[in-house]
Structure 1
Amino acid sequence: MKNWRNLILAIAGFTLLAGCTTNPYTGESQAGKAGIYGGVGAVTGALIGAATSSKKDRGKGALIGAAVGGAAGGGYGYYVDTQEAKLRQTLQGTGVQVQRNGNDLKLIMPGNITFASNSADISSGFYGTLNSLVLTFKEFDKNGIDIVGHTDSTGSLELNQNLSNRRAQSVAAYLSGNGVQASRISAYGAGPSQPIASNANEAGRAQNRRVEINLRPL
């Protein structure tokens, strides 16, 4: 039993080390998220393989399970790594932030570059950024695209809810109108209900006025 447990630990360590890379777009050394996913997949697969094998074949079962689990986990991790790098490169200097949390990517688009005040009409200067996103979303088509509009707390709740919804719908309509599959897209407004800064001052209110695009596995 001790031997196959040691084997599982060795598999996880090797997979993680193999996934360590330098991001070609950011220059950052990363314990490769692909390596992390691969390591998790390998350990999970190895445990299942060992548990479902006879006592004398547990080592062999662990190896087979690790190979299958590592490939599945690392494959999607590499996909997200590549997509994240492409988005960071494409959106550099646009004012759009790229955040990552596990398998999910979030794009934060400040209101001052996306829409005029109290308007759901996309600013003319933002079309170039949206066109770049269209190309990226077509290239990386394994994600659902959840678009959420947000406002500050100034004005009535009804006004803000309606405005945030119309802004999210405007972005969704632009993406689908330019060839991104509508079946991948959802859009809704959150109004002022999800602030990321204080609404007590203008700097905070400016941060709260935004549109977010959440990319998640389909």
Structure 2
Amino acid sequence: MRVIVATAITGALLVGACTTDPYTGQQKISNTAGGAAIGAGLGALGGMLVGGDDRRNALIGAGIGALAGGAAGAYMDRQEAELRAQLQGTGVSVSRMGDRIVLNMPSNITFATDQDAVMPGFYGTLNAVALVLKKYNQTIVDVNGHTDSQGSDAYNYGLSQRRASSVADYLSAQGVDGRRFAVNGYGETQPIASNASEAGRAQNRRVEIYLTPIT
């Protein structure tokens, strides 16, 4: 899996391995989250001590405080409510797994067939997403592209990667901190419906955004 991560160095070298294992289920479960309380005042040293995710390290090192315990759940509750309000009627679904928020963007409203440029008609929806992401900056953002099983594995992987990159690039251009992003292309490897029907293939062609609190 290819992961594109922008990192920052603030007073110290931040070293870590970034791994992404996104969930695809739609069930909403408990909003309780663990995690240590790490304040913004810890600076770069605090970022180095947090763990293995480069993005978390960089953001905490840059002065963005981490969320502790139940505060993460409440923070994500508020963000989820605002996203649901902003995205109502757009075709983008908002779901929840614990303290993670998942935005599912079907390709039929996001991209033209076999294209990787965001359709102008979708700009307003992404603008609304960007507004919420900027307000709730204590999250990291995984943008994951997926395709159906039509075509070769290599083609589908490349298309999914380019589409995810286009969404992340657009959000960054609207002022969302690029250090928060990882961009992943999964091709046809993570279907959420059967590829035996056109209806199922349409569900599989999507970009998903996962929002995870910095804890």
CA distance in 2, matches of 1:172, 1:99: 19
Q: Which amino acid aligns with 1:82?
A: R
4+ residue segments displaced more than 6 Å: none
Structure of greater relative contact order (alpha carbons < 8 Å, 6+ residues apart): 2
Normalising by structure 2, report the TM-score: 0.68
Q: Which amino acid aligns with 1:190?
A: Y
- The correspondence for 2:160, drawn from 151, 164, 174, is 164
RMSD of aligned Cα (Å): 2.0
CA distance in 2, matches of 1:190, 1:157: 10
> 3-state SS of the aligned residue for 1:37?
coil
* Aligned positions of 1:1-218 closer than 5 A: 37=32, 72-218=68-214
> 3-state SS of the aligned residue for 2:32?
helix
CA distance in 2, matches of 1:155, 1:77: 41
Fraction of identical pairs, as percent: 55
Rg larger for: 1
CA distance in 1, matches of 2:32, 2:147: 35
CA distance in 2, matches of 1:148, 1:142: 20
CA distance in 1, matches of 2:156, 2:82: 33
CA distance in 1, matches of 2:70, 2:154: 45
- Cα displacement string for residues 54-77 of structure 1 (whole angstroms, at most 9, x for unaligned residues): xxxxxxxxxxxxxxxxx9433222
CA contact (8 A) 2:194 2:200 kept: yes
Q: Report how many aligned residue pairs link the two structures.
A: 155
CA distance in 1, matches of 2:166, 2:68: 36
* More helix as a share of residues: 1
CA distance in 2, matches of 1:96, 1:204: 17
